[in-house]
Amino acid sequence: MKISFSKVDCSGRELEYVTRVIQSGWLTTANMCLEFERKFADFIGVKYALAVNSCTAALHLAVNSIGIKAGDKIFVPVMTFTATAEIIRYLNADPVFLDVEYKTSLLSPEILEAGIKKHPNVKAVILVHYAGQSVNMSQILPICRRHNIKVIEDAAHAFPTKYSGRYVGSFGNITCYSFYANKTITSGEGGMIVTENKDTYESIKCMRLHGINRDIWDRFTTMNKWEYDVIAPGFKYNMSDINAAVGLAQFERAEEFRKERERCAKHYFEELEQLKELDLPALQCNWHEHSWHLFPIVLTEESPVSRDEFIKQLNARGIGISVHYKPLHRMTYYRMQYNLLPENFPNAERRWQGGISLPIFPLMTNDELFYVTNSIKDILLNK
């Protein structure tokens, strides 16, 4: 049996919507993007949403919009993809790296408090909602308010994730989503920014397309109103209507997809939670509030095989896996630029040494799930 790490379900209205865009004769940012933005904002429960061409672009625009300057510092958890930190360097500012909880890979209030005590002049924090589970917003947001730290949420893993009954995206200053090919919904390439702040919205809307003060669709559809002005040195970060068409069709099935991912996660818990050779992800929310983008496990000291040997044996059985993540303190650039040492990030280091992400996607069949869990048991128990 061959099981990929991820597989996209495009059996909804993707083709219909893409065809509609192609037949319109206008393929870049237009009505489909606007519809996607409106529906996304309404779903999250915020005033504004802006579609962009990646979550990296979203994060860059977010950090730029809060006035970060060269030499400023922003907290970033080390257990994340490089984009979360690299966009800070775009502005010649500096990430200040923090460890995460071992059980969840999330930034905890205690870790944040310790970071603030050591680095009292940090301007902002990027909260990463890891694997589809939200950080503890009810405790972290008061800490940030108390220390005048602005909050950007990296929700690349977290749609449609909830915290205490509210969707992620309705808490912080700005929230950024990813619609990359393997995410919970996809537009192929793309992302979304949501905010409640009108000034933030207007700033990002301008900066996502070259700093131009009128969007291209407005200029195209308004007769004799061709003129525009460049009011800032912006970026080329807009989403095309073709990508928005795919994203909108996926968005319409977001909860359906989430339920199917939950089905996969429940199977993994039922079949693997008794194995002392594995640590499964800690669930600190209700099942239905988790979007289950990833299912990360960690091999314990009881495992008869190393992490790399475990991966090799799963691959030999046709099972695709991934690792989320090699933490940023182990990446050459960040390690050397900031003199990062593994012993300063013990929880992330422990997760990295034994961490593996199992296949989890809506199209995964029960037979495939049993094949994965039976293979894991065979490797760990019959060595």
Q: Is residue 242 part of a domain?
A: yes
Q: 155 with 234, same domain?
A: yes
Q: 151 with 298, same domain?
A: no
108-125 per-position pLDDT tens digit: 999 999 999 999 999 999
Alpha carbons 118 and 44: distance in angstroms, whole number: 35
Q: Is residue 119 part of a domain?
A: yes
Q: Is residue 54 part of a domain?
A: yes
359-368 per-position pLDDT tens digit: 999 999 999 9
Q: 237 with 296, same domain?
A: no
- Angle formed by the axes of helices 307-316 and 366-381, nearest 10°: 130
The pLDDT of residue 221: 56
Q: 299 with 373, same domain?
A: yes
User: Where does a domain end: 253, 287, 304?
Assistant: 253
The pLDDT of residue 226: 62
CATH number of the domain encompassing residue 360: 3.90.1150.10
Q: 149 with 291, same domain?
A: no
Q: Is residue 91 part of a domain?
A: yes
User: Where does a domain end: 253, 277, 309?
Assistant: 253
Q: 261 with 323, same domain?
A: yes
Residue 225: band (very low, low, confident or very high) from pLDDT cuts 50, 70, 90: low
Q: Is residue 3 part of a domain?
A: no
CATH number of the domain encompassing residue 18: 3.40.640.10
Question: Which residues are CB-contacts of 291 (< 8 A; sequence separation ≥ 6)?
Answer: 132, 133, 157, 158, 159, 160, 161, 184, 258, 261
Q: Is residue 19 part of a domain?
A: yes
Active site includes 183? yes
Residue 223: band (very low, low, confident or very high) from pLDDT cuts 50, 70, 90: low
Q: 262 with 346, same domain?
A: yes
180-213 per-position pLDDT tens digit: 999 999 999 999 999 999 999 999 999 999 988 8
Q: 235 with 211, same domain?
A: yes
Q: Could you tell me the two tokens for 69? A: 């300057």
Q: 153 with 264, same domain?
A: no
The pLDDT of residue 296: 98
Nearest to 168 by CA among 79, 285, 18: 285
- Angle formed by the axes of helices 31-44 and 241-251, nearest 10°: 30
Q: Could you say which of 123, 150, 183, 205 is catalytic?
A: 183
End-to-end Cα distance, the chain? 21
SS3 50: strand
The pLDDT of residue 36: 98
Q: 267 with 226, same domain?
A: no
Nearest to 168 by CA among 290, 63, 262: 290
Q: For strand 73-77 and strand 150-154, is the pairing parallel, antiparallel, or unpaired? A: unpaired
Alpha carbons 233 and 237: distance in angstroms, whole number: 13
What is the domain extent for residue 296? 255-381
Q: Is residue 8 part of a domain?
A: no
Domain count, the chain: 2
Q: 135 with 93, same domain?
A: yes
Q: Is residue 1 part of a domain?
A: no
Would the pTM of this model clear 0.85, i.e. be above it? yes
User: Where does a domain end: 207, 232, 253?
Assistant: 253
Q: 276 with 194, same domain?
A: no
What does the pLDDT average to over 302-318?
A: 98
Q: Could you tell me the two tokens for 201? A: 């919205």
Nearest to 7 by CA among 310, 290, 365, 249: 365
